[in-house]
Structure 1
Amino acid sequence: MSSPTSSHAYGIGLIALLVGLSASVVFYTSFYLPESLAKPSVSHAILEPAEEFFLIEIVPGAVNDDGNDYLPQKAEALLTFTNNVRWINNDDTAHTVTPDHRYTDGYSGDFGSPGVIKPGDTYEFLFTEETVIHYFCQPHPWMKGEITIAKSRF
């Protein structure tokens, strides 16, 4: 005959399991999670560029398919000088700024207007890394623009 299993063994096993789970939760919340959510270190000059913002205009009549949609159509902004970019909708129709391909800035997150930009409203994005982005208006896909973020030469 086999001897009955001791309830002490189950108790010790349960305690060991709880201690292991507790240690895992403490590690995850104290070390792993903050590290994975931390924003990268970015210089003060990039976070507060010399110019308040670089302006791109959605021109009046942009909804018409004539190729004059964003002014400038191909923009170049410089890190530490003009990397805080603002789109202003001067048209009488709502538009978007939607990247052709998803772009995530390491500091500022996902690029692209969070919905439509109503007439007179703006969308602003702080670029902290060099990149080239092609973008368009989602309701009016013939509206296309491009922005290049480059390192300052100074």
Structure 2
Amino acid sequence: MSTPTSSHAYGIGLITLLVGLSASVVFYTSFYLPESLAKPSVSENILEPEKELIIEIVPGAVIEGNESYVPNKATALLTINNKVIWKNNDDTAHTVTPDHRYTDGFSGEFGSTGVLKPGDTYEFLFTEEQEIPYHCQPHPWMKGKISVEKSRF
């Protein structure tokens, strides 16, 4: 009569552990991960608004006391002009940086990554009502505010 050796029991335990880990990885990558990364359902009218809202960083914006973001207090309407484009028309690099971190459920984190060199643009598609004060990181006196509201139509 032969008795199982400890290496035989060790092998069965290792196979059981590997099968369990494999099943966990398959569940995580097939079911959990895609659901956690899925974007919310957003109306096609919001994803493709009628027009764009352009906010200019005007020439001379770097000089304290001058106008900077024009319009300075902009209102974007969902389905109408909720795709907002900031265009740097100044001869100095600037940013569009939220005063407080804001993440849109569909479009992600708001704020330009790096600086906008002269002639560059930054665009963001707002899909939720919100009011966001923002500024230029290297020039904090440059301030603006964007309000996103439901359209009345």
Do Structure 1 and Structure 2 share a fold, with TM-score over 0.5?
Answer: yes
Counterparts of 2:12 and 2:88 in 1: how far apart (Å)?
67
Aligned to 1:88: 87
Deviates more, 1:3-12 or 1:113-122: 3-12
CA–CA separation in structure 1 for the residues paired with 2:46 and 2:29? 30
2:50 pairs with 1:50: yes
Once the two structures are superposed, the pairs formed by residues 64-75 of structure 1 within 5 Å of their partners are: 64-75=63-74
Matches of residues 127-138 of structure 1 in structure 2 within 5 Å?
127-138=126-137
Give the total of aligned pairs.
Answer: 151
Q: Distance in 2 between matches of 1:58 and 1:7?
A: 72
Q: Deviations over 1:80-133 (max 9, x none)?
A: 001000011111111100000111111111111111111121111001111110
Unmatched 5+ residue regions in structure 2?
Answer: none
Q: Counterpart of 1:26 in 2: which secondary structure?
A: helix
TM-superposed deviation, 1:12: 1.6
Compute the TM-score of the two structures, normalised by the length of structure 1: 0.93
- Secondary structure of residue in 1 paired with 2:26: helix
Question: AA paired with 2:110?
Answer: F
Query: What do the CA deviations read for 1:20-63 (whole angstroms, capped 9, x no partner)?
Result: 10100000110011111111111100000011x10111111100
